[in-house]
Amino acid sequence: MYSPIVRNRQSEMLAFRHLSKETRQHVMPIFDVATPSKTADPPSGQKYVEGNIYRTEKLAAGFSAVFVDSSELDPTFRLSGGAHPLIGAAAAVVKSGSRPIPVTGLHRDTAHQDAVFAIRKEQQQNGLCIRLDITDVGTATLTYKGIQDLLAANSIVPSLAYLLLDLQCLHGLDIEPVVKQVNRLFMLLEEDRWAGIIVGGYGMPDQLSMAVSTNNQTYLKRIEQDIFYAVAAYKMGTPIWFADYTILPPSVVELDWRLIRKVMTPKALYTLEDSWFVVRGSAFSSHPDGYNQYYSIAEEIVALDEYCGQEYSYGDKYIWDCSQRAGSAGSPASWITACVNHHVAFTANAHST
């Protein structure tokens, strides 16, 4: 099983529209309600969030279950009519025909916790997911007690609880210390059987420019996957599976195109077995090819020995067509959709066992 962690923004969510039925069988996505821009006024922010939640309803079908979270939003944010955004996200998943599993944490506010248990009651099922950050993982004994207290206070047995170990940014870290921290927590968790333990993070830097300059290309190690394989060797009675942030670190936010068009550059991250192939162009506003730089980027990807072929996924077909200069070169949003789609299909296949 594989759990991609994505914000429910248009460019990311559209990648799920084009997943095959077979791929969906191996995916339990984590849809985190995206926060509006800091410059958005309250009505615009509410419209943005509600639009993204509505899109979830259209694109969450076909998964056995979908984890829903609202970790990015201000705790005081509410939908029209005063509903908590987590409840809105869960309702959208229900309308899609899938089953929502609400996500909480050891440090969430009371309103979030109330929303989690309202969803459980509405769905007449007791499952939930507890999301742990790297600090939680590093304080294993305290964290284990917190998990036990949370479950006991709400009469939930461990076998109905999923644990998401969200290790967050792992770029540039040594694998061994991280694995030791996770295994230390595993030593406590193995006392119980859980619904599932999900381990992941992201291996690209928060700012891609830190790893690759403009008009250049490189390979980035998928360190979060290496860490997962190391900790998955720990023998437990609980299923352990992989999560990641696909090709976008959570620090990436939607910005006003009018403000950033002068400095924005085309880029693509093509997922390989143990790395990403990363290509960056020059600023759209100053390069003579402008958006047409994507044609050259596509050609670089298709020339890879590891390129999966145009029949592999929607994303691969998109890249192939662009390399053949068939139609538009695309936009930053359409390339995010294509690269996320390839990544999810490729990673789900790798972890399908």
Going by pLDDT thresholds of 50, 70 and 90, the confidence category of residue 96 is very high
pTM value > 0.85? yes
Mean pLDDT of the region 153-179: 93
| Six token digits for residue 165 | 């170990």
Largest Cα–Cα separation, the chain: 63
Mean pLDDT of the region 200-218: 88
pLDDT at 8 over 70: yes
Q: What are phi and psi of 7, to 5 degrees?
A: -80, 145
Mean pLDDT of the region 48-68: 91
What's the whole-number average pLDDT of the chain? Answer: 91
pLDDT at 171: 92
| Six token digits for residue 181 | 């921290």
pLDDT at 254: 54
pLDDT at 69 over 90: yes
Scanning the structure block, which residue is given the tokens 């996320």?
Answer: 340
Structure confidence by residue, pLDDT tens digits, 183-206: 999 999 999 999 999 999 999 998
Of the ranges 207-221, 259-273, 292-306, 329-343, which one carries the lowest mean pLDDT score? Answer: 259-273
The answer to whether 95 and 59 have CB atoms below 8 angstroms apart is: no
Structure confidence by residue, pLDDT tens digits, 265-322: 889 999 999 999 999 988 877 777 788 899 999 999 999 999 999 999 999 999 999 9
pLDDT at 252: 64
Domain boundaries, the chain: 2-212+219-257, 258-353
The answer to whether 76 and 112 have CB atoms below 8 angstroms apart is: no
CATH number of 2-212+219-257: 1.20.120, 1.10.3230, 1.10.10, 3.20.20?
Answer: 3.20.20
Structure confidence by residue, pLDDT tens digits, 248-266: 988 765 555 554 555 688 8
pLDDT at 58: 86
| DSSP string computed for 21-89 | HHHHTTB--EEEPPPPPTT--HHHHHHHHHHHHHHHHHH-TT-S-EEEE-TTS-TT---GGG--HHHHH
Of the ranges 37-41, 178-182, 213-217, which one carries the lowest mean pLDDT score? Answer: 37-41
The sheet with strand 267-271 has its strands ordered as 216-221, 275-280, 267-271
- Provide the percentage of residues in the chain whose pLDDT is more than 90: 71
Of the ranges 33-42, 85-94, 136-145, which one carries the lowest mean pLDDT score? Answer: 33-42
pLDDT at 63 over 70: yes
pLDDT at 285: 77
Which are the contacts of 302, defined by CB distance < 8 A and separation ≥ 6?
319, 320, 323
